[in-house]
Amino acid sequence: MMPEKIIPYKIYLEEEEMPRQWYNVRADMKNKPAPLLHPGTLQPITFEELREVFCDELARQELNDTDAYIDIPQEILDFYKMYRPSPLVRAYCLEKKLDTPAKIYYKFEGNNTSGSHKLNSAIAQAYYAKQQGLKGVTTETGAGQWGTALSMACSYFDLDCHVYMVKVSYEQKPFRREVMRTYGAQVTPSPSDTTKVGRKILEEFPGTGGSLGCAISEAVEAAGEREGYRYVLGSVLSQVLLHQSIIGEETKAALRKYDIKPDMIIGCAGGGSNLGGLISPFVGEKIRGEADYRILAVEPASCPSLTRGKYVYDFCDTGKVCPLAKMYTLGSGFMPAPNHAGGLRYHGMSSVVSQLYDDGLIEAVSVEQTAVFKAAEEFARVEGILPAPESAHAIKAAVDEAVKCKETGEEKTIVFGLTGTGYFDMVAYGKFHDGQMVDYIPSEEDLAKGFAGLPPVPGI
Amino acid sequence: MMPEKIIPYKIYLEEEEMPRQWYNVRADMKNKPAPLLHPGTLQPITFEELREVFCDELARQELNDTDAYIDIPQEILDFYKMYRPSPLVRAYCLEKKLDTPAKIYYKFEGNNTSGSHKLNSAIAQAYYAKQQGLKGVTTETGAGQWGTALSMACSYFDLDCHVYMVKVSYEQKPFRREVMRTYGAQVTPSPSDTTKVGRKILEEFPGTGGSLGCAISEAVEAAGEREGYRYVLGSVLSQVLLHQSIIGEETKAALRKYDIKPDMIIGCAGGGSNLGGLISPFVGEKIRGEADYRILAVEPASCPSLTRGKYVYDFCDTGKVCPLAKMYTLGSGFMPAPNHAGGLRYHGMSSVVSQLYDDGLIEAVSVEQTAVFKAAEEFARVEGILPAPESAHAIKAAVDEAVKCKETGEEKTIVFGLTGTGYFDMVAYGKFHDGQMVDYIPSEEDLAKGFAGLPPVPGI
């Protein structure tokens, strides 16, 4: 049953084979992502403006669309060694179960305590904050993966970490909260009375469960008011995609090590950090004409920014205090239905991913959540790993492609990103088991409401 | 900061370096563990008697104290490849934090969805059941690690799996239950009205939260009454230690690969499966006079079977339907205080580990739970991994030894077993953070009550 050349179940890179640079796909993009705009002036944001929000080096990385490779500092490489390289796994059991001629690989990012790929950027952001002599950072978290990752990273560098956690998650996911506390983070349910914006919202909407948009605003305000603090964010930003390129660089190196040529790369897409990181090196080859791949972004049907959104400038947060970004968006006022992939509920998409999509370099598809959980369970039963609902979007698409291969007889090689584990998502799995899960697809009216809140800013 | 010879953060074995045999330490033991006794006749149990409870090959393995090496079937090796080898990690960050000259390594068994080492034996037991043409297996679970592992294993081999889960755990750990359901297991809170013994207990103690002893009895009864079913158990048994020797064999191979000679091996001890598996190859060398190591079993002060128990024959379950074992025990009626390391609350200790301890080949120490959680948190903050409370017992002892090395200046090499992750133990971590955790140490009266229930069976 073994293929011609024996591929191990899990391909690990040796320490000396590990990438030592992040790859910045913007440098190779012919159409650069549109610049962030200052929310007050609506002009492209400058380094001096951006460094008031982010620490200096991260502001530089955010604006850098010319350097293709950026050295990873030794301290970050050392931390990466604790949980990287992540394995590139050949899904032999899944292939057998599907009886497909396709060869399926997945890059598994869940083998660290934060349980997801978020740690790749969290450690970088904490490092640069520490290097600048800051005391701490603030952030928001919804589902909790980013907050957990940042807590771990800050604990490692002995930085204060203050997480504003969407109140409904704070209450429904107490275990996530405890993991963050284990790593020494301060966790505040948002909206809270510790910020002006929080107090204002509590006054307007007493008893509200909060939202990511509100938590972002609180975190930004808190960072601005404290000496030696900056705000950090776990997705959407170009700097985050840069750090996450470690996923794609490792994947490329692992494939090369065994002479494997993928036909297709698949990733789930929320804010775009995992997808962007995984695909960057492959898109780079595609842009440079060195290779061709089909690249597929998979998003939830309930929050379909790529497949049903508009490519325009929009607010990044509901409080409208952050810079504006040009992106595929459903509007910052779009309220995604309560699906169970909390990490894929952002109204917009990374500017980099948006531009690649607009240029036709990547494709996108949306999938419904019951089908996603069905694929997740099938995958868990044969491959062992219990996937996060977010990650399972990529599984669903990969399985669909592998089934198509069975029909056509094609021996395609499919690589997908498995971003994390679902240990803290068992409420959702329970609903699925009990037949209580429903699919949400926004109506045209729902979308129109979201689009109505778009700012009147022309694309640049 | 690197040592003379560069040791990677994580030592992985290549597939061709993986052990292909389990090591059966009983074959090398000069004093063999005392035989199991039939609960009716009180005579050493025979293969014919044992195969009514366990499937044939496992009954054979249980009785085999002569073959030092047993081939691991290819199907099990294939499954092991999905999550093994587990990494042997050099705890560089912990060493730095402790400022110790000691070199600390840990063998991390938590990188699989069941979250612990239990999967090593679960897959073997499921395989032999399948091979015998059985329809399914029954078992009990307390904390839930074993139930999860067995569910995964049965799902892989398409076997029915029925788990009797201690009712209080079933209610307090609904997420564990959902993981098992994800893998297709039937999970019944115990005591239940589905068995005679369950109904009897419910009648006598309406509203009881159940106990491991009761769940064992229900699982054994259920297996006996169904055509094509057998009962399986996740610890204590010699067959389980045999399967878990994969941990020790891999550890030995990884150490050899880098010429590392450990001075000390440390493992947490509940029923003894992880400890026995980790130490077996090293104890073997010690018995054969090829090497010398200090070997340390770490148990909770609240359930101190080795350090305060008696070495006598005792019942393995409170229902007294299982064979009797000679072991260090607190008596099957001993009620351990509600500490948070559910996996270390068994009243007795594996016969193999008990005999090794009685022969002076291994040492034992007990530790209190607040100190254990403090060590767990310290470890998590520097090494990233969030340890299970059980595993953290070994961390606590390893840290204590490393601190001693700092005082004496000794450059000892310490290896400990990190059996699993604590994702489902956040309630306990929360109590620790909130200062609500207390230490339980049984009084002499508590112990006397447990000893009063020992059967009047002389040691053989």
Cα separation, A281 vs A263, in Å, equals: 14
- At how many degrees (to 10) do helices B273-287 and B238-257 cross? 60
Query: Is a pLDDT exceeding 60 seen at residue A200?
Result: yes
Residue of A nearest to B119 (CA): A384
Highest-pLDDT range among A8-12, A186-190, B421-425? A186-190
For B300, residues 6+ apart whose C-beta sits below 8 A from its C-beta are B336, B339, B341, B344, B345, B366, B367, B368, B369, B372, B393
CB atoms within 10 A of CB B363: 15
Mutate to test the interface with A, among B175, B177, B379 (most CBs of A within 10 A): B175
E-only strand ranges, A167-233: 186-190, 229-231
**Which of the pair, A459 or B307, is modelled with greater confidence?**
B307
**Which of the pair, A408 or A316, is modelled with greater confidence?**
A408
In chain B, pLDDT over 70 holds for what percent of residues?
A: 98
- Name the minimum distance, in Å, from the CA of A382 to any CA of chain B: 6
CA distances from B115 to A181, B109, B122 (A): 21, 7, 13
Find chain A residues with C-beta within 8 A of B174's C-beta: 426, 430
Cα A73 from chain centre:
22
- Name the minimum distance, in Å, from the CA of A206 to any CA of chain B: 28
CB atoms within 10 A of CB A139: 29
Cα separation, B12 vs B84, in Å, equals: 9
Q: Which structure tokens are listed for B335?
A: 């009620």
Selection from A94, A46, A73 nearest residue A323 by Cα:
A46
Please report, as a single letter, which amino acid is at residue B458.
Answer: P
Query: Is a pLDDT exceeding 60 seen at residue A103?
Result: yes
Q: Which residues pair with A22 in a beta bridge?
A: A70
Find chain B residues with C-beta within 8 A of A93's C-beta: 82, 156
Query: Is a pLDDT exceeding 90 seen at residue A459?
Result: no
Q: Give the dihedral sign, CA A194/A196/A200/A201.
A: negative
User: A175 — contact with chain B (CB < 8 Å)?
Assistant: yes
pLDDT of amino acid B400: 98
Query: Is a pLDDT exceeding 50 seen at residue A1?
Result: no
pLDDT of amino acid B196: 92
Tell the burial category of B81 from Cβ atoms under 10 Å away from its Cβ (0-12, 13-18, 19+).
middle
- Sorted by where each starts, the structural domains of chain A and their CATH numbers stand as 10-17+85-115+245-452 (3.40.50.1100), 21-72+118-231 (3.40.50.1100)
Cα separation, B53 vs A203, in Å, equals: 65
Mean pLDDT of B54-69: 97
- Name the minimum distance, in Å, from the CA of B350 to any CA of chain A: 28
Q: Please count the CA atoms within 13 angstroms of the CA of A450 that sit on its side-chain side.
A: 27
**Residue pair B234/B149 in contact by the 8 Å Cβ criterion:** yes
Residue A181 has its nearest CB partner, among B156, B175, B433, at B433
- B194-250 pLDDT, tens digit per residue, is 999 899 889 988 888 888 878 988 999 999 999 999 999 999 999 999 999 999 999
Cα separation, A350 vs A280, in Å, equals: 13
Find chain A residues with C-beta within 8 A of B182's C-beta: 377, 380-381, 386, 429, 433
pLDDT of amino acid B346: 85
Confidence grade of residue B459 (pLDDT, cut at 50, 70, 90): low
For B446, residues 6+ apart whose C-beta sits below 8 A from its C-beta are B334, B335
- Name the minimum distance, in Å, from the CA of B46 to any CA of chain A: 36
Query: Is a pLDDT exceeding 90 seen at residue A355?
Result: yes
- Rounded to two decimals, the ipTM of the complex is 0.85
Cα separation, B81 vs B391, in Å, equals: 23
User: A441 — contact with chain B (CB < 8 Å)?
Assistant: no
Please report, as a single letter, which amino acid is at residue A238.
Answer: S
pLDDT of amino acid B3: 46
Tell the burial category of B294 from Cβ atoms under 10 Å away from its Cβ (0-12, 13-18, 19+).
middle
Mean pLDDT of B364-372: 97
Query: Is a pLDDT exceeding 80 seen at residue A340?
Result: no
Q: Which structure tokens are listed for A413?
A: 């090689």
DSSP characters for A148-209? HHHHHHHHHHT-EEEEEEEHHHHHH-HHHHHHHHHTT-EEEEES-TTSHHHHHHHHHSTT--
Find chain B residues with C-beta within 8 A of A183's C-beta: 380-381
3-state SS class at B221: helix
Selection from B10, B203, B224, B38 nearest residue B111 by Cα:
B10
What CA dihedral angle connects A35, A41, A45 and A46, to 10 degrees?
150
b/e per residue, B126-145, with b = 16+ CB within 10 A?
bbbbbeeebebbbbbbbbbb
- Quick check: B421 and A113 CB within 8 A? yes
Selection from B130, B132, B182 nearest residue B154 by Cα:
B130
User: B384 — contact with chain A (CB < 8 Å)?
Assistant: yes
Mutate to test the interface with B, among A7, A156, A423, A425 (most CBs of B within 10 A): A423
Query: Is a pLDDT exceeding 60 seen at residue B1?
Result: no
Confidence grade of residue A149 (pLDDT, cut at 50, 70, 90): very high
Find chain B residues with C-beta within 8 A of A81's C-beta: 8-10
- B152-169 pLDDT, tens digit per residue, is 999 999 999 999 998 888
- Quick check: B430 and A181 CB within 8 A? yes
**Residue pair B295/B265 in contact by the 8 Å Cβ criterion:** yes
- Quick check: A174 and B433 CB within 8 A? no
Q: What is the pTM of this model?
A: 0.91
- Name the minimum distance, in Å, from the CA of B460 to any CA of chain A: 43
- B178-205 pLDDT, tens digit per residue, is 999 999 999 999 999 999 989 988 998 8
In chain A, pLDDT over 90 holds for what percent of residues?
A: 80
- A260-292 pLDDT, tens digit per residue, is 999 999 999 999 999 999 999 999 999 999 999
Mean pLDDT of A220-233: 95
Helix (H) or strand (E) segment spanning residue A414: strand A413-418
- Name the minimum distance, in Å, from the CA of A373 to any CA of chain B: 10
- Quick check: A423 and B426 CB within 8 A? no
Find chain A residues with C-beta within 8 A of B95's C-beta: none
For B207, residues 6+ apart whose C-beta sits below 8 A from its C-beta are none
Query: Is a pLDDT exceeding 50 seen at residue B143?
Result: yes
Query: Is a pLDDT exceeding 60 seen at residue B4?
Result: no
E-only strand ranges, B226-353: 229-231, 264-268, 294-300, 310-315, 324-329
Q: Going by DSSP bridges, is the β-strand pair B363-367/B294-300 parallel, antiparallel, or unpaired?
A: parallel
3-state SS class at B338: coil
pLDDT of amino acid B133: 98
Query: Is a pLDDT exceeding 70 seen at residue B2?
Result: no
Residue of A nearest to B183 (CA): A381
CB atoms within 10 A of CB B459: 8
Query: Is a pLDDT exceeding 50 seen at residue B131?
Result: yes
Residue A196 phi, psi (nearest 5)? -60, -50
Please report, as a single letter, which amino acid is at residue B161.
Answer: C
Mean pLDDT of A229-240: 95
Mutate to test the interface with A, among B7, B9, B76, B158 (most CBs of A within 10 A): B9
Q: What is the mean pLDDT of chain A?
A: 93
pLDDT of amino acid A247: 98
CB atoms within 10 A of CB A189: 18
pLDDT of amino acid A2: 43
Q: Going by DSSP bridges, is the β-strand pair B310-315/B324-329 parallel, antiparallel, or unpaired?
A: antiparallel
Q: Going by DSSP bridges, is the β-strand pair A136-141/A160-166 parallel, antiparallel, or unpaired?
A: parallel
The A residues from 101 to 120 touching B (CB cutoff 8 Å) are 111-113, 115
- Quick check: B381 and A112 CB within 8 A? no
